Structure 1
Amino acid sequence: FFALMSDDTFIEDVLEGLALQQYLRGFWDHGVTTVSLTRELSEDDWHVLVEDPADRSLLLMKCREVLAWDDARRHSIETSSRRQSVEKGSLLHGSSSMNNVSHTQSVQLRTPSAPQLAAFDSELCTDIPVRLDRLPWCRWHWVVVLALGSAWSLDGFIVSLNSLVGPHLTNTQTMGITRLEAAAIGSIYISGAVLGCWGFGYLADIYGRKRLFVVIPTVYLSASILASFCFGYKAFVACVFMMGIGIGGEYSALNSALNEFIPARVRGTVDLVVNGTYWVGACFAALTSKVLFDERLVAIDRGWRLLYLVTGGLGIFIVWLRQYLPESPRWLVMQNRHDEAKEIMNAIESKVERWTGVPLPEPAHRITLKVDVKVGLSKLMTILLCEYSRMSLLSVLLMVAQAFFYNAIYFTYVNVLCTFQGVDPKNGGDYLIPFTVGNFLGSALLSPLFDKVGRKPMIVWTYTLSSLMLMGTSLLFMQEQLSAFTLTACFSCIFFVASAAASAAMLTVSEVFPMEIRARAVSVFWGLGTAAGGASGPMLFGYLLQLSETTGTKGPIVAGYALGAVLMLVAALAEAILGVDCEGKSLEAIGAEVVQLMPQAADG
C-alpha cells in the first residue's frame, strides 16, 4: 500500500477512487489512531469520488504526509530493534511484516514527533480568498471595521493623552517633572509599542488573529487603569510602557486581520479611513482634557487620572465587541485548516445573503496556495532580506519617515506652543482639535484615490507635498510670521495630506508580504520604523526644544522640522522607484507579483 502511495502518478490517477478521506483526517487529528490497511481494492472502491477539488487536494497532501510519517516511523523502529529485542506483535518493522497484514487488519500506528511532519510544505487548491473578495459591502463589514478599527481610535486617544498630560505633570501640584521627562513619556510609550508589535506579531502568525482579539486590549486597558493610581514618575511611565505594548500588538495582529477580511476593490479606502480614525480618538482626548484639566471643575491632580480611567473603559467596550469576530479564513487556509475556513466562510456568506437579500454568485475561480508553511526566524530573515528585499527596503523607508514626521511633531506640539507662543498648558487641547480634524478629513477624503488613481502615484504625491509644506511652514515659523492660531492652521493643512501618506505606509507593509509572515512583517517594519523615527523623534525634539529655550532662538527646533521634511522626500523617491501597484488585487496576487520583481526569482 505505502509503496503504491509513493508513486505520484498512481496517486493522482487513483486517489479519487479511494475512500480514505475520513481515515486520513482521523490520522491527522489524533496522535494514535486505528488504521485499516487494505491491500486489495474492489471495483466499487475505485469509483467513490471526492467531488470537491479542494478536498482532493487536501487528501493528496495528507497521503504524502502519511508517507513521510511512515518512513520516519520505520526508521525509528529499525534503529530501536538493533538495540533491543522486539516484542511479539511489533508494528510493521520490516517489509516482511507488511506482507503479513490481512485484508482488513487494523493496527495501532504511533506518529513520530510533530517536526518530522511539519517539514513538508504542501499545495492546496482553494476558493476562500476569491469568496472573500467577491462579497458586497454590507453590515458584516461594518462590524469588522468597528471592532478592529476602534483600536486606532483608542491609540489616538492614548497618544494625545500622553502629549497633553506631559506639560500638565510639570506642575508642582501634580508630579513636578521636568520638560525632558515630559517629552520622554511619548518615547517610552512608543518603545513599549515597538516591543508589543514584535511580540504579538509573532503570536498572530503562529496562533491566529482571533486569540489575540481579547488578549491585546486587556493588556492596555489594565495598564491604563493602573496608571490613574500612580503617584510617582517611575511607576507612571512603567504603566505607560505597558499601554504601549498593548497598542503595538494592535498594529501587527489586527491590521493583518482587517486587510484579510476586506474585499480587494475597497481595501485601500477602508484601510486608510480606519487608520484615520486614530485622529477621532485624538480629537476626543483633546475635548475631554479641556473639561478634566479645568481646575474650576476638577482638582488639578485628578483630571489626568480620570482621563486614564476613561481609556480603560474604552478598552472594555472593544473587548466586548470583538467576541463577534471569527478567525481569519485566509489564515486558516495557510495553516492547512481548510475545513474550518470553509465553515467560517459559509457562515459569513449566509449572513451577507440574509442582510443584502441577494444570492451570492459562484466564485469565479480557484487559486493554488502553499499551505502549512513553517517559517522560523532564519527563514523569515531570508524572505525579508532576499526574496522580498525591494519591499523590505521600501517598507523601512516609508515607515521611518512617517513615524519621525508624525511622532516628533505631534508629541511635542503642545510644548512648542507653550514655549514659543505663550499658550497656557491647560488650553493646549484647544489647538489639537483643528489639528486632529484635518488629519481625519485627509485620510477620509483622499482614501478613495488610493483605489482609483493607484497606490504608487498617491504615495509619491502625498509624501512629497507633505515635505514641501513642512519646509514652508518652518521658514515662516523661524521668521516669527505665525501666531499660535496660524501655526495650528498650517500644521492642520500639512497633516491633511500627511495623514493619508502615513496610513498608506502601513497599508503597503500589510499588502506586499506573503500571508504566512504578514503579521510578523508588519511588526518588523512598523517596529523598526517606529523605533528609528517614532521613539527617537520625541526625545530629539524634546532636546531641541530645551536647546531652543536655552539659546532663545527657534533654530534647533526648525532644524528638527527640516530633518522630518527630508526623510519624507527620501521616502517619496523610494516609492517612485520600488513601489508596486496593489489597487484592486487580491493579497495573494500581490504576493505573486512582488516575487516576480525580485532579482532572485530569475535565478530560480
Structure 2
Amino acid sequence: MYLKASETGYRLVGMPMDIPMMIGMVLIVAGLLLTLYGLIPKSESQRSEIMNLKVRALDDAPIRSSHVALLLVMAAAVTIDVMKPTTLSFVLPGMTEEYGLKSPLNPDGTVPAALVPFAGILGTVIGSFVWGWLGDTIGRRASILLAAVTFIGTSICGSMPTYSMNVFMCFIMGLGVGGMLPIMYTIMAETIPARHRGWIMVLIGGDVIGAYILTSWLAAELVPIYSWRILWLIGLPTGVFLILLNNWIPESPRYLLTRGRHEEAKKVMQRYGAKIIEDESTKLNVEENVQDRLIQLFQPPFHKITSAVILLALGVGFVSFGFQLWIPSNLQNMGFTEAEANYMLRDSALIGFPLNFLIAWMYGRWSSKNTLILLSGFTALSLLGFAFAGSAVADNQPLLYALLVMPIWGISSVVAVLSAYCVEIYPTRLRSRGSGLGAGISKAGGVIVIGLVVLSVASPSILGTSLIGAVPMGLAAIALAMFGVETQQRQLEDITAEQYGNWSFQAVEQKQTS
C-alpha cells in the first residue's frame, strides 16, 4: 500500500484497509503474544536455594573488552529506544497536513493532533510497569528482545491509512519504549563493576542528544522524498538491529542466581572476568527476604525511599512536559521573538552540556545520594526564581540564562541519575519493577500535561509551570536527604542488606520504646 502510493506523495488517507492488511494486523498481534510465550523460561526453580557464590567477585573484576562491548551495545540500544518518541515531533507536521488535524499549523481542524503524542506517552507509562514486571519474571535480556519485536511490529504504523490506527499503533510503540530503558539500566547495574557502575550509567543515560541528532538528520533527508511515514517504517530495520545487538547483551548473573540457574550465572560471570568463589558470608542470601511483588516497593524497608523516588519522578515529568513544553510560548509572551526564544533555549542546553561529565563524576566518585539532592534542589530553586521574577526576568538576560540552564539541560541529567539510582536501591528480585516505577511515574506527568493540550486548555503561565515543577522537586530533595541511600561504589547486595538491617534495628527500637 505504501509503495503503490508513491505517485501521490505516499498519501494513504482515505485508502480502505483491505483483507490482506487486516490479516497482517491480526498476525502482528498474534506474533507479539507468541514471542512473549517463547521468551518465558521453561525450566527454572524460582525459589531454589541460592548458591553461595561470591557475587562481589563480579564487582571486583577489572574492565575488560566484554564490558566495553556491552557498553557500546547499550549506548546503541539507548539511542534506538529514545529515537522512537523523538520521532513524534517530526511526524506530526506531515500527519497534521494529511489528516487535516487540529494543531497550531491548522487551527481549523476538528480532531486534535496531540492525540498521537498523548497515546505514545500513555503507552510509555504503562510499558514502564509492564516491562518492569516482565524483567523480574522472564528476565532482563528476554524483555529487551520483546521490546525490539514490538518496535518491528509497530513500524506498520507507516502504512496505516486512518488516523485512529496511527494513534493505536503509537500507543503500542510506547509500551515497548517505556519498558526497555529501565531494563537496560538494570542489566548495566548488575553487570558493571561497582567502582565504575555509577558514572558509566549516568553517561550512557545522557545519550538523548545523539538520538535527537540522528532522528532530525533522518527526517531532513528522507521526509521530503518519502513523506512522514518513512520515519515509522524505519522501526523495522532498527528493531532487527536491536535483536542482532542482543547477541552481545548477557542475562544478568544476579537475576540468574535468584532464579536458581546457577550454571548459566557462572558462565556469564566468567565472561566478564569474575572469579567463581563459594563464600558462606555472601550477602546475596538477603534476597530470600524479598517477595516478587510490586507492593513490596511500598512496604518496609523500601517504602520511604520509594516515596522519595515518586516525588522526584513526578517532578521530572512536570518539568519535562510542563515547563519545557510551554517555555517557548512563555518566552514569546515576555516579548522575545520566536527565533530569539529558540536560540535562548538552545544556548541554555549548550551551556549545561559539558556539566554532564561533572555530574557523572560526582555520582560515581563522590556521592550518588548528594548528587541527586543537589540536582533536584537546584532545579527547584531555578523554577522558584522564575515564579518570583515572573516576566520581569526578561529585562535581565544573564539571570534568565542562569535560571534556564537547570530546567532545560539539568532535567535530562536528573533523568539519567534517577534511572541509575533506581536500579541500585532495590534488590535483584524487585530491581526491574523499581526501575520501571521511576520511569513510569516520570511519564505520568506528561500524560497530565499533554492531556490538557488534547482538551484544548489554554497554555499555563510561567508562574504555573514553574510552581508545578518546583514543589515536587523541592520535596524530593528533602525526602532524599531524610531517606536517601548511598550507593556510590557499593555492592548491590550490601545496599539491600543495609536497608534490611536499618529497618530491623528501627523496628526493635520502636518495640522497646512501646
| Structure with bigger RCO (C-alpha 8 Å, 6+ apart) | 2
Range of TM-score over shorter length: 0.7 to 0.9
Deviation at 1:251, TM superposition (A): 2.7
Deviation at 1:472, TM superposition (A): 3.5
Checking the alignment, whether the CA contact within 8 Å between 2:367 and 2:487 is kept in structure 1 is yes
| Counterpart in the other structure of 2:322 | 408
Checking the alignment, whether the CA contact within 8 Å between 2:66 and 2:271 is kept in structure 1 is no
- Residue identity over aligned pairs, in percent, reads 22
CA distance in 2 between counterparts of 1:169 and 1:268 reads 41
Deviation at 1:584, TM superposition (A): 1.0
Q: Which amino acid aligns with 2:86?
A: S
SS of 2:394 mapped into structure 1: coil
Say if 1:229 and 1:472 are closer, same or farther in 2 by CA, change over 3 A: farther
CA distance in 2 between counterparts of 1:480 and 1:255 reads 39
| Counterpart in the other structure of 2:441 | 528
1:248 to 178, 182, 194: 178
CA distance in 1 between counterparts of 2:397 and 2:69 reads 40
2:247 to 323, 347, 357: 323
Q: Which amino acid aligns with 2:59?
A: D
| Counterpart in the other structure of 2:301 | 387
Work out whether 1:212 is the aligned partner of 2:105. Answer: no
Larger Rg: 1
Q: Mean Cα displacement is larger for which, 496-505 or 200-209?
A: 496-505
Checking the alignment, whether the CA contact within 8 Å between 2:53 and 2:279 is kept in structure 1 is no
Checking the alignment, whether the CA contact within 8 Å between 2:57 and 2:276 is kept in structure 1 is no
SS of 1:387 mapped into structure 2: coil
CA distance in 2 between counterparts of 1:306 and 1:428 reads 30
Spell out the pairing of 1:3-14 with structure 2 (5 A cutoff).
Answer: none
SS of 1:326 mapped into structure 2: coil
SS of 2:284 mapped into structure 1: strand
- Per-residue CA deviation, residues 516-545 of structure 1 (Å, 9 max, x unaligned), is 1111222234323422x23213334676x8
Checking the alignment, whether the CA contact within 8 Å between 2:125 and 2:178 is kept in structure 1 is yes
Deviation at 1:167, TM superposition (A): 5.1
Spell out the pairing of 1:32-51 with structure 2 (5 A cutoff).
Answer: none
Checking the alignment, whether the CA contact within 8 Å between 1:470 and 1:565 is kept in structure 2 is yes
2:262 to 318, 334, 338: 338
CA distance in 2 between counterparts of 1:206 and 1:130 reads 24
Q: What is the total number of aligned residue pairs between the two structures?
A: 461
CA distance in 1 between counterparts of 2:213 and 2:378 reads 24
CA distance in 2 between counterparts of 1:155 and 1:145 reads 15
Checking the alignment, whether the CA contact within 8 Å between 1:186 and 1:535 is kept in structure 2 is no
| Counterpart in the other structure of 2:487 | 582
Q: Mean Cα displacement is larger for which, 262-271 or 433-442?
A: 433-442
Deviation at 1:176, TM superposition (A): 2.5
Gap regions ≥5 residues in structure 2 = 1-41, 105-110
Work out whether 1:178 is the aligned partner of 2:103. Answer: yes
CA distance in 1 between counterparts of 2:491 and 2:135 reads 21
- Per-residue CA deviation, residues 299-353 of structure 1 (Å, 9 max, x unaligned), is 6xx5422223334433332221121222111111111222221122223329xxx
| Counterpart in the other structure of 1:538 | 450
SS of 1:336 mapped into structure 2: coil
Say if 1:123 and 1:252 are closer, same or farther in 2 by CA, change over 3 A: same
Deviation at 1:593, TM superposition (A): 1.2
SS of 2:101 mapped into structure 1: coil
SS of 1:126 mapped into structure 2: coil
Q: Which amino acid aligns with 2:253?
A: P
2:458 to 536, 547, 562: 547
Say if 1:238 and 1:416 are closer, same or farther in 2 by CA, change over 3 A: farther
CA distance in 2 between counterparts of 1:418 and 1:237 reads 31
Deviation at 1:204, TM superposition (A): 1.5
Spell out the pairing of 1:417-566 with structure 2 (5 A cutoff).
Answer: 423=338, 441-473=354-386, 478-479=391-392, 481=394, 491-492=404-405, 494-531=407-444, 533-540=445-452, 546-548=457-459, 556-566=461-471
Say if 1:234 and 1:417 are closer, same or farther in 2 by CA, change over 3 A: farther
Deviation at 1:430, TM superposition (A): 8.2
SS of 1:243 mapped into structure 2: helix
Checking the alignment, whether the CA contact within 8 Å between 2:94 and 2:227 is kept in structure 1 is no
- Per-residue CA deviation, residues 338-373 of structure 1 (Å, 9 max, x unaligned), is 2221122223329xxxxxxxxx89899961433885
Gap regions ≥5 residues in structure 1 = 1-113, 351-359, 549-554
| Counterpart in the other structure of 1:281 | 211
| Counterpart in the other structure of 2:72 | 146
CA distance in 1 between counterparts of 2:349 and 2:85 reads 12
Checking the alignment, whether the CA contact within 8 Å between 2:324 and 2:407 is kept in structure 1 is no
1:370 to 269, 281, 285: 285
CA distance in 2 between counterparts of 1:173 and 1:484 reads 40
- Per-residue CA deviation, residues 49-71 of structure 1 (Å, 9 max, x unaligned), is xxxxxxxxxxxxxxxxxxxxxxx
Say if 1:408 and 1:146 are closer, same or farther in 2 by CA, change over 3 A: farther
Q: Mean Cα displacement is larger for which, 160-169 or 577-586?
A: 160-169
Say if 1:602 and 1:483 are closer, same or farther in 2 by CA, change over 3 A: closer
Work out whether 1:398 is the aligned partner of 2:325. Answer: no
CA distance in 2 between counterparts of 1:582 and 1:316 reads 35
Q: Mean Cα displacement is larger for which, 202-211 or 161-170?
A: 161-170
Deviation at 1:416, TM superposition (A): 6.4
Deviation at 1:162, TM superposition (A): 1.7
Deviation at 1:265, TM superposition (A): 0.8
Say if 1:119 and 1:585 are closer, same or farther in 2 by CA, change over 3 A: closer
Say if 1:231 and 1:453 are closer, same or farther in 2 by CA, change over 3 A: same
CA distance in 2 between counterparts of 1:467 and 1:601 reads 32
Deviation at 1:515, TM superposition (A): 0.8
- Per-residue CA deviation, residues 100-122 of structure 1 (Å, 9 max, x unaligned), is xxxxxxxxxxxxxx9xx979664
Deviation at 1:582, TM superposition (A): 0.8
Deviation at 1:422, TM superposition (A): 5.9
Work out whether 1:157 is the aligned partner of 2:83. Answer: yes
SS of 1:228 mapped into structure 2: helix
CA distance in 2 between counterparts of 1:120 and 1:288 reads 48
CA distance in 2 between counterparts of 1:338 and 1:133 reads 18
CA distance in 2 between counterparts of 1:134 and 1:480 reads 51
SS of 1:270 mapped into structure 2: helix
Say if 1:233 and 1:470 are closer, same or farther in 2 by CA, change over 3 A: farther
| Counterpart in the other structure of 1:227 | 157
Say if 1:451 and 1:342 are closer, same or farther in 2 by CA, change over 3 A: same
Checking the alignment, whether the CA contact within 8 Å between 1:478 and 1:558 is kept in structure 2 is no
CA distance in 2 between counterparts of 1:373 and 1:245 reads 31
- Per-residue CA deviation, residues 263-307 of structure 1 (Å, 9 max, x unaligned), is 1112110111111012321233334444556xxxx16xx542222
